[in-house]
Amino acid sequence: MKIGQMTKNQKEGKVMNLKNIVNHAPAQIKKDFTFRTHEKGSLILHPDEQNDYLFILTTGMAEVYRQSYVGTMFSLYIYHSYSCFGEIEIFNENIKTLGVIAKQKCETIAIHKEKVFEWMKSDFDFNLYIVKQLASKLTLSSDIAAKLSLLTVSDRVLLSIHNHYKMGDLHTLTKQILSSEVCAPIRSLNRSIAQCVSEGLIVYKDKKFHVNSITKLEKHVESYSLS
């Protein structure tokens, strides 16, 4: 099971619970729902922004990216219909957003935090759902951070390149940026890049990184899955 993905039963349980909660939301809350549509590949939330809204994904699939404490970029969550995100930031103004990308055409409901707090006061099921979401994400983030610290420099290099490829900005990745992301000096980074090139996983030419075989790279990255 990959990062942030759930078993079929878990997913069905979450869908049923949140969909039911949304359908039975108090009228004074529902009137302030903001419905939005997001095209495939677009950012639902930009990284490092202030966010005052809870987002409920009602249709489609979205993916969340974050930068770990060691600097590596990686995919953190996969959201399916009737999942929510943005709840962490609305409880702490010092926390900035993670990037949330629409992997399919998505529809969301945006709810301002003041209305979220009002809803939590009046609906125990909604309140319980939010608390469980916060606890689940805290546990998952801690586990991933611990596992990332055990990866070799080469593994972190491939993980970072893989995620830049998925985000469509691999052409902007430089050795300096990669060195910062994987927390490794250039000399160590050069050895790891040479190793990855010799294994046929990536190409480094004219100061640009290229993926030699995305299938082969994904297979390698999945071998040290952070789930």
Q: Render pLDDT for 85-131 as a digit per residue (tens, 0 to 9).
A: 999 899 988 888 888 989 899 999 999 999 999 999 999 999 999 99
- What is the SS3 assignment for 132-176? HHHHHHHHHHHHHHHHHCCCCHHHHHHHHHHHHHHHCCHHHCCHH
For residues 99 and 46, give the distance between their C-alpha atoms in angstroms, rounded to a whole number: 5
For residues 145 and 76, give the distance between their C-alpha atoms in angstroms, rounded to a whole number: 11
Among candidate residues 19, 152, 45, 153, the one with its CA nearest the CA of residue 102: 45
Q: What is the C-alpha end-to-end distance of the chain, expressed in Å?
A: 6
* Amino acid symbol at 25: A
Number of C-beta neighbours around residue 142 at 10 A: 10
Mean pLDDT of the chain: 83
3-state secondary structure of 99: strand
Are residues 84 and 44 in contact, defined by beta-carbon separation less than 8 angstroms?
A: no
What average pLDDT does this structure show over 159-179? 84
For residues 15 and 8, give the distance between their C-alpha atoms in angstroms, rounded to a whole number: 11
3-state secondary structure of 210: strand
pLDDT of residue 38: 96
Q: Render pLDDT for 58-67 as a digit per residue (tens, 0 to 9).
A: 999 998 876 5
Residues in the chain, how many?
227
pTM given for the model: 0.62
